Amino acid sequence: MVSFIVSESLHSPLSERDVEICERKGIGHPDTICDSIMNGISIAICREYLRHFGFILHHNIDKGLLVAGEAETAFGGGEVKSPMLLIIGDRATFRGDGDEIPIDKIAIETAKKWFRENLRFVNPDVHVKYQVELKPGSEELISIFKRTKGFLGANDTSAAVGYAPMTPLEKLVLSLENYLNSSDFKSEFPETGEDVKVMGLRVKDDIDITIAMPFIDRYVDSEKTYFRLKSEVLEEINQHLEKTIGKSVKVNFNALDSPGKGVNGVYLTVLGTSAEAGDSGEVGRGNRVNGIIPLNRPTSSEAAAGKNPISHVGKIYNILSYRLAERVYSSVDGVKEIYVWLLSQIGEPIHQPKIVAAEVTLEKNVSLNSVKKRIEETLRSGLSEENLSRFLEDLIQGRIRVC
């Protein structure tokens, strides 16, 4: 029997507080690269299990590390001196019913495909080495997967929390990185790399945005050219932000730049990502499952990327908590902000969490008693077998973003 608790928050919504900080690491950031590739490997392995056996076997591909390589930037084009190293780790099932599944091959091919599709200047056969450290799982956890009908038992005792709605600053930070890495923007400014990081700060009504985005050195023949290109990109960013939110915003762009120092005073890369030389990446250090890092919010400590989509509550509840919060916010009048916590009990079916707790901030003149029943009904509906089955299928097929 699932226990539901709905309570009223004593705090004002985040958008009404004086200070808010929010960050997004773009598609070319080393941490986002790790999250994206490991989750892609899980999806590819799921498809292979389904093709061979008709159901998904035990795996968790959530221990990834991208070790930075070595590169030397130069005006007009530098060179990669030592490739990046992608370490793919944790657990998978390699055999079933006598069939051998080429897990290592699937992992490497998926990683290479991701690099080709997302980082324009990375040649996955030249600029990256691969080290697969996937091992068979424990028998105790594997046994959870031997049930092929109905919902599996949770593979862990774990908690997750999600919220709704996103604040205007959170939406702005997310949409700005998406714009800077869009095909339209890269077509107009091909000299910009994919390793985009956006940090947003709001103090009352004033917004301050800091952006880090490298330039590709082959497009930059001098320091003068760099600062000219930077000025053109900054002008486009300012125009985009003014159109987006209807007012000017303070923008700090590549704040570490120092004129007069040549190559050492500007943000250049050979490949468009700092992983080529300056920064390693790791699963779980990047964006939360709603695409941002919301510093003022409670968030799950679990890394969702790469975990299996049918029993690992570190993935399922992490994303589902946001879905449930959005479901309540969009369908129950009077709710200004909501947080939803889900707690699993290891071995218990995933559609029966140990507790579902919701904390809501309500509009003025709306009482908790007037909406409590409706909120609980909405949460129950979101956890129904039909809705949860559809949600898990979307996870399996990779239709839900995890970073």
CATH of the domain at 247: 3.30.300.340
Is the dihedral angle over the CA atoms 141, 144, 146, 151 positive or is it negative? negative
Q: What is the pTM of this model?
A: 0.96
> For residues 373 and 4, is the Cβ–Cβ distance under 8 A?
no
CA 136 to mean position of chain CA atoms = 26
Whether a cis peptide bond, with omega within 30° of 0, leads into 349 is no
- CB count in 10 Å sphere of residue 108: 19
Q: Which residues pair with 202 in a beta bridge?
A: 20, 207
Residue 199: which H helix or E strand, with range?
Answer: strand 197-203
Residue 280 falls inside a structural domain: no
Residue 85 falls inside a structural domain: no
Structure tokens given for 189: 């400014």
Measured between alpha carbons, how far is 168 from 275 in angstroms, rounded to an integer?
A: 31
Q: Which one-letter amino acid corresponds to residue 184?
A: D
* Region of residue 170 (phi > 0: left; psi between -120 and 50: alpha; otherwise: beta): alpha
- Report pLDDT for 149: 66
Residue 330: which H helix or E strand, with range?
Answer: helix 313-331
Coil, strand or helix at 3: strand
Place of tokens 């774990």: 158
Instruction: Spell out the residues 6+ positions from residue 211 whose beta carbon is closer than 8 angstroms to its own.
Output: 176, 180, 196, 197, 198, 199, 237, 251, 252, 253, 254
> For residues 58 and 152, is the Cβ–Cβ distance under 8 A?
no
Structure tokens given for 364: 């003025």
- Report pLDDT for 167: 98
Structure tokens given for 154: 């949770």
Residue 130 falls inside a structural domain: no
Residue 334 falls inside a structural domain: no
Residue 104 falls inside a structural domain: no
Domain carrying residue 226: 16-25+167-274
Q: What's the average pLDDT block by block, 10 residues per block, for the chain (403 residues)?
A: 94 97 98 98 96 91 97 98 98 86 97 98 98 82 63 92 98 98 98 98 97 98 98 97 91 97 98 96 97 96 95 96 98 98 95 97 97 98 96 96 94
Residue 263 falls inside a structural domain: yes
Residue 126 falls inside a structural domain: no
Range list of H helices, 119-251: 139-142, 168-180, 183-188, 223-245
> For residues 394 and 30, is the Cβ–Cβ distance under 8 A?
no
Helix 385-396 with 30-53: angle, nearest 10 deg: 110
For β-strands 250-253 and 206-212, DSSP reports them as: parallel
**Number of structural domains found in the chain:** 1
> For residues 13 and 363, is the Cβ–Cβ distance under 8 A?
no
User: Order of strands, edge to edge, in the sheet holding 355-362?
Assistant: 3-8, 355-362, 335-343, 159-164
- Report pLDDT for 288: 97
**Burial grade of 219 (CB within 10 A; 0-12, 13-18, 19 or more):** middle
Place of tokens 């762009």: 253
Residue 215 falls inside a structural domain: yes
Q: What are phi and psi of 256, to 5 degrees?
A: -85, -5
Is the dihedral angle over the CA atoms 280, 284, 285, 288 positive or is it negative? positive
- Report pLDDT for 150: 81
Q: Which one-letter amino acid corresponds to residue 330?
A: S
Nearest to 379 by CA among 342, 344, 333: 342
Extended strands (E) in 256-330 = 268-269, 281-282, 293-294
Measured between alpha carbons, how far is 302 from 314 in angstroms, rounded to an integer?
A: 5
